[in-house]
Chain A
Amino acid sequence: MTTLLELDHINKDYRIRGFLDRSTLHAVKDVSFSLEVEKPEIFTIVGESGSGKTTTARMILGNETPTSGHLRFMGEDVAAIRSRAERLKFMARVQPIFQNPFEAFNPLTTLDYFLFATAKRFLGLKDQANIEAATDRALNHVGLSLAEVRGRYSHELSGGQLQRIAVARALIPEPKLIVADEPVSMVDASLRMSIVNLFRDLRDTLGVSIIYITHDLSTAYYISDRVIIMHRGDVVEAGDAKTVLGHPQHAYSRALREAVLPPDPVAARRIIAQRMASAKAAEARQPG
């Protein structure tokens, strides 16, 4: 087995400098996990805002350096990458997908420009025909074609389509790993499934591993193989997705699990009624 990505006791601290005081924020505390090359999987990081999940993603992408610990991609320490050529090689194999596709693409530039630029930069292609062929191939993986995208601006497409194009762009350099930070939270619930299903297909057909970062437990349960739950920088629970999300053990993961509203009016109403009752009880306990 070859290790694709290894996080070895990763810590990240931020120094916060106020006007007079300074303090340290431990954004990520002692996170370790690894992914194998032979076993492509969807690895999910679940957490609320401020849990350190985005910081972890930025470290995997090489945008942040861990304060301590080692982050190795294909056996090489990511922090040790110095030269431009090595950096490009790394970026070609680890690609990001961002939260809001409307912000990821410049609205004044046609979308094919971004796709062609990615092909030129990471594949080193010079010939327009080859560039277009590589772009078309990537778009075909997400159920689109270059003919549909050529000359279009981001405002002409729906959020779901745009996010597909973002995925296609990430696929152009034929990466081994995709880091998707909240890729569906800005997409409508009805289009969410098309993106999430796409991740499944990519794992199964292209053998790409995906690090899926989300706060939505239901889609996490639906697509993940393994999951870690983060809370204020700590990993509170980790393991097989169906076990962890189906039967959470840690108090925080249980609270998260209970916060998911079921798509069933009878059960959901019961939950809201319970919340109302407990709020009333808390009010009664308060003096005055």
Chain B
Amino acid sequence: MLAVVETKPASVEAKPVLRVEGLKAYYQMNYFGVRREVRAVDDISLTIKRNEIYGIAGESSSGKSSLIKTIAGAITPPLRVVEGSVKFDFGGKELDVYAERPAMKAARWKHLSYVMQGSMNVLNPVRKVKHAFHDFAFKHMGLSEQDFRARVESHLQRIGLDPRVLEAYPHQLSGGMRQRLTIGLATVCEPEFIIADEPTTALDVLVQQDVLALIKEVQQRLGSSIIFVTHDMTVHAAIADRIGIVYAGRLVEEGPTIDVFERPQHPYTAHLIASLPRIGDTKKRIALPGKPPNLADPPSGCRFHPRCPLAIDKCTRENPPLVPRQTGRVACWRAGEVEAA
């Protein structure tokens, strides 16, 4: 077949594939002279290495979706980038998402692709699946119609789908098959970077593990990097190499998955992990008091302090910086003082 196996030079391997520096993206609204600003992404810096699955965890309205939209360059007003930069490194060529729009457009799908949450929203319900592949990938592959079809078929076979699904309409397929298809769509061009937004949330429990195994398998085969967003900590436990915890638009902790689960440094992370129910354990789980902060009017100092069991006076006044600690980074004045439950 035509599958091209690319070998990357060693010097390229060492450089991170994505560098986000001091990124601030706000929803800025101006209705009838009333200005409103929602700081959904507030001063986030992170790097993602080659061949890595980076998980972003956080509750809804924590800004995790705004963050990945900003990284993908897929933002529309009122969400605007106020400060900072997002830079990709595709095969040694640096690409600034917000400075080089045309180059970014060319890189989409070939180098950077997405797996989205509702598979039904991605696949057009009145067109056969083969048209979706054609629409998304054909112009990026530079192949003839025939070769393209052969390539898509062999790709589908590798992700465990019968090539006959190309002739089907989306509603004729099960939820698990559709989610496989969206993964197939995102990986057919063998991109270096994949953004996955809650890819398993809408799936039945029995299919979830298979889809996760598929994502991991494709990632290992292609050597791509994946940024993976979900609020389900057990999914992060299963496939993420590193986790970043987002709270109220800020990155509060980041580190290798196993370390974050075993020795959480931030009280919010510790709570997230301690509150997970386990079969075989009925010990009472304590729910976090209070409510998620309003990003239009966030609390002063550390944004977690109104709900934090360890909050001290300093937390209400000064915002803790994200500093290296042990194997990761953490933003907390009392980092490491939490006892992991």
Q: Chain A interface (Cβ within 8 Å of chain B)?
A: 48-49, 157-161, 188-194, 196-197, 215-219, 221-222, 242, 245-246, 255-257, 259-266, 268-269, 271-272, 275-276, 279-280, 282-283, 288
B206 and A255 contacting across the interface, CB-CB below 8 Å? yes
- Cα–Cα, bound, A209→B209 (Å): 33
18 CB-based A-B contacts, threshold 8 Å:
A158-B292, A160-B291, A190-B231, A218-B279, A221-B277, A221-B282, A256-B206, A259-B205, A261-B209, A261-B238, A263-B261, A269-B239, A271-B209, A272-B212, A275-B212, A279-B214, A280-B217, A288-B157
**B257 within 8 Å of A by Cβ?**
yes
A222 and B277 contacting across the interface, CB-CB below 8 Å? yes
- Cα–Cα, bound, A283→B213 (Å): 14
Residues of chain B within 8 A (CB-CB) of A217 are 205, 279
With A191-B287, A218-B278, A279-B213 in contact, do A265 and B258 touch (Cβ < 8 Å)? yes
With A159-B60, A256-B206 in contact, do A189 and B231 touch (Cβ < 8 Å)? yes
B238 and A272 contacting across the interface, CB-CB below 8 Å? yes
- Cα–Cα, bound, A193→B284 (Å): 9
Residues of chain B within 8 A (CB-CB) of A192 are 275
The B190-217 residues at the A interface (CB cut-off 8 A) are 204-206, 208-210, 212-214, 216-217
B233 and A189 contacting across the interface, CB-CB below 8 Å? yes
Interface residues in B, total, Cβ within 8 A: 45
B280 and A246 contacting across the interface, CB-CB below 8 Å? yes
**B273 within 8 Å of A by Cβ?**
yes
- Cα–Cα, bound, A272→B212 (Å): 7
With A215-B204, A217-B279, A222-B277 in contact, do A197 and B237 touch (Cβ < 8 Å)? no
A-B CB pair tally, cutoff 8 Å: 130
**B251 within 8 Å of A by Cβ?**
no
Residues of chain B within 8 A (CB-CB) of A194 are 287-288
With A48-B204, A255-B206 in contact, do A262 and B272 touch (Cβ < 8 Å)? no
Residues of chain A within 8 A (CB-CB) of B316 are none
User: 9 closest A-B pairs (Cβ-Cβ)?
Assistant: A194-B287, A275-B213, A268-B238, A263-B276, A261-B234, A218-B277, A222-B277, A188-B59, A193-B287
Across the interface, B275 reaches (CB within 8 A) one of A190, A246, A255, A259, namely: A190
A158 to chain B, nearest CB (A): 5
> Chain A binding site: helix, strand, loop or mixed by DSSP?
helix
Q: Chain B interface (Cβ within 8 Å of chain A)?
A: 59-61, 157-158, 160, 204-206, 208-210, 212-214, 216-217, 231-235, 237-239, 257-258, 261, 271-273, 275-280, 282, 284-288, 291-292
Residues of chain A within 8 A (CB-CB) of B257 are 265
B183 to chain A, nearest CB (A): 13
Residues of chain B within 8 A (CB-CB) of A261 are 208-209, 234-235, 237-238
- Cα–Cα, bound, A189→B288 (Å): 11
Residues of chain A within 8 A (CB-CB) of B59 are 188-191
B258 and A266 contacting across the interface, CB-CB below 8 Å? yes
Residues of chain B within 8 A (CB-CB) of A262 are 234, 237, 278
- Cα–Cα, bound, A54→B233 (Å): 27
- Among A191, A261, A282, the one with the most B-chain Cβ atoms within 10 Å of its Cβ is A261
A242 to chain B, nearest CB (A): 8
With A193-B287, A197-B285 in contact, do A260 and B216 touch (Cβ < 8 Å)? no
With A266-B258, A268-B238, A271-B209 in contact, do A158 and B287 touch (Cβ < 8 Å)? no
A219 and B277 contacting across the interface, CB-CB below 8 Å? yes
With A256-B206, A262-B237 in contact, do A276 and B213 touch (Cβ < 8 Å)? yes
Closest residue of B by beta carbon distance from A270? B238
Across the interface, A197 reaches (CB within 8 A) one of B214, B217, B284, namely: B284
A272 and B239 contacting across the interface, CB-CB below 8 Å? yes
Residues of chain B within 8 A (CB-CB) of A216 are 205
A274 to chain B, nearest CB (A): 8
- Cα–Cα, bound, A255→B234 (Å): 18
- Cα–Cα, bound, A157→B238 (Å): 32
Known: A197-B285, A260-B205, A275-B213. 8 other contacts (CB 8 A): A217-B279, A221-B280, A261-B209, A262-B234, A268-B238, A271-B209, A276-B216, A283-B160
B234 and A263 contacting across the interface, CB-CB below 8 Å? yes
